Amino acid sequence: MKAIILAAGLGTRLRPITSTTPKCLVPINGVPLLELWLRDCERAGVEAVLVNTHHLAERVEEFVAARRGIPVTLAYEPTLLGSAGTIAANWSFVDDTESFLVVYADNLTTFPLSELIAFHATHDRIASMALFRSPNPSACGVVELDSSGLVTGFWEKPANPPGNLVNAGLYVFRRQVRPYLPTDIPADIGRSLMPALTGRAMGLPIGSYFVDIGTLENYYQAQADYAAAAG
């Protein structure tokens, strides 16, 4: 198992913090977000990680160079490729694996990646995705499941969401996903890939603590909430 951690976002909603610190390195109780994800990858038995970079890429390079543990490959994007575009551009990294993880680095959760990997092993669909209940589903990718857990509907940031079960930005894809990857770049997983995988993906609702720390409000609140949830 390998993992792609998507970490190239500009973090505009987290300014002024992200004026000097890339979003993937903002600290949660003193620990950079990317470090939390790398630790979870190590616990899950992931053997190698690719991290895409863009904004303040040199800071991420310094962080990775100083770290010991799981091998990390950096993929600098002079122009942002989008989440699905990053997978397509770095296909050679995962081409020798049967399945691989994709993680949005700007999410914070106590949900272990090992549980998503274990869930993925229980079925033969192309993808597995973690899901959570959102108080604001119109800002998320809304998912509909049938009684077996099959994804039967996907709507990216709908004005009138049919429910509040949404995409957590944590995936395991089988290598059979390659023909579904968009060729027009930039391309996003939510807008360009997951709609094509409706009927070909399984969803796993999680009850663990989960938050997108993309806003200052969420970021500051997460400092206390995550410590309580993790403790």
* Whole-number Cα distances in Å, 189 to 18, 81, 82, 132, 193: 24, 11, 8, 17, 5
> How many other β-carbons are positioned within 10 Å of the β-carbon of residue 160?
8
β strands within 7-47, DSSP E: 27-28, 31-32
Contact 213, 222 (CB under 8 A): yes
Q: Strand, helix or coil at 41? A: helix
> How many other β-carbons are positioned within 10 Å of the β-carbon of residue 179?
7
Q: What is the structure's pLDDT at 217? A: 86
End-to-end alpha carbon distance in the chain: 28
Written as six digits, the tokens of 207 are 């009850």
Reading the chain (231 residues) residue by residue, the pLDDT tens digits are 999 999 998 777 778 877 888 989 989 988 999 999 999 999 999 999 999 999 899 999 999 999 999 999 999 999 999 999 999 999 999 999 999 999 999 899 999 999 999 999 999 999 999 999 998 899 889 999 999 999 999 999 999 999 999 999 999 999 999 999 988 889 999 999 999 999 999 999 998 999 888 788 888 888 888 888 876
- Torsion angles phi and psi, residue 60, rounded to 5: -70, -40
Q: Please state whether beta strands 165-174 and 48-53 pair in parallel, antiparallel, or not at all (unpaired).
A: unpaired
Rounded Cα–Cα distance for residues 175 and 92 (Å): 11
Q: What is the structure's pLDDT at 213? A: 85
pTM: 0.94
Rounded Cα–Cα distance for residues 191 and 136 (Å): 18
Give the CA radius of gyration of the chain: 17
Q: For a pLDDT cut of 70, what percent of the chain falls above it?
A: 99
